[in-house]
């Protein structure tokens, strides 16, 4: 029976809960990883995966308003005549609206339409990570890790011994073990005494 300790990755790349999502993404990308455990000190507090990053990026932003409610034509009052004073206030309305939406016009022109802030740099790993941990002991059978991955729809299982992270098993580790024929069952037949 193949054990997790036989195929687990021992040199585990970890993330800090207070690092920005941009920093975490750069680490995952540079190491060609789809996820990593998140440690606070030596304690595992979560896992950040590519799926978590996508879900976080796709979620509506919290507390931010993407524009004010606009008035409908039902809210407008009919006007018989327009005075010069009213004409100035109408144009001021559009000038004020432009200023509110664009901030400093020179900054908008210099940015050439590119966003001024990086949302991944404005949020930390702790905001996007999965806090439910799935772990097994290094002595567990590799099949139990595969079952756990299938049951919970995850791609990695933490390997923990005496409360400490000692490794990680990914779906790729299991695929490599299968490809290398390490998971084949062998049946031994012995002559039974009569």
Q: What is the pLDDT of residues 106-125, one digit of tens each?
A: 554 455 555 546 778 899 99
Secondary structure of residue 51 in the 3-state scheme:
helix
164-170 vs 156-161, strand pairing mode: antiparallel
d(CA 145, CA 154): 10
36 within some domain: yes
Burial group, residue 19, by CB count within 10 angstroms (0-12, 13-18, 19+): middle
d(CA 184, CA 181): 6
* 119 half-sphere exposure, CB direction, 13 A CA radius: 14
d(CA 63, CA 58): 15
Q: Is the pLDDT of residue 194 over 50?
A: yes
d(CA 52, CA 124): 12
87 within some domain: no
152 within some domain: yes
pTM for this structure? 0.65
What mean pLDDT is reported for the chain?
78
Per-residue model confidence as pLDDT tens digits over 160-170: 999 899 999 99
91 within some domain: no
Domain count, the chain: 1
């Amino acid at each position: 029976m193949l054990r997790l300790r036989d195929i687990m990755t021992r040199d585990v790349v970890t993330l800090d809960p207070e690092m920005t999502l941009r920093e975490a993404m750069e680490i995952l990308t540079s190491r060609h990883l789809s996820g990593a455990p998140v440690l606070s000190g030596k304690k595992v507090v979560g896992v950040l995966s590519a799926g978590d990053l996508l879900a976080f990026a796709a979620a509506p932003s919290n507390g931010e308003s993407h524009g004010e409610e606009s008035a409908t034509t039902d809210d407008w009052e009919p006007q018989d005549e327009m005075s010069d004073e009213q004409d100035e206030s109408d144009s001021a309305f559009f000038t004020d609206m432009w200023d509110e939406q664009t901030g400093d016009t020179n900054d908008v022109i210099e940015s050439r339409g590119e966003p001024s802030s990086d949302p991944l740099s404005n949020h930390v790993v702790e905001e996007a990570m999965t806090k439910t941990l799935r772990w097994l002991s290094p002595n567990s059978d590799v099949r139990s890790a595969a079952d756990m991955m299938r049951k919970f729809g995850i791609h990695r299982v933490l390997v923990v011994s005496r409360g400490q992270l000692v490794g990680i098993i990914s779906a790729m580790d299991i695929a490599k073990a299968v490809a290398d024929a390490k998971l084949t069952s062998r049946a031994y037949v012995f002559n039974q005494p009569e």
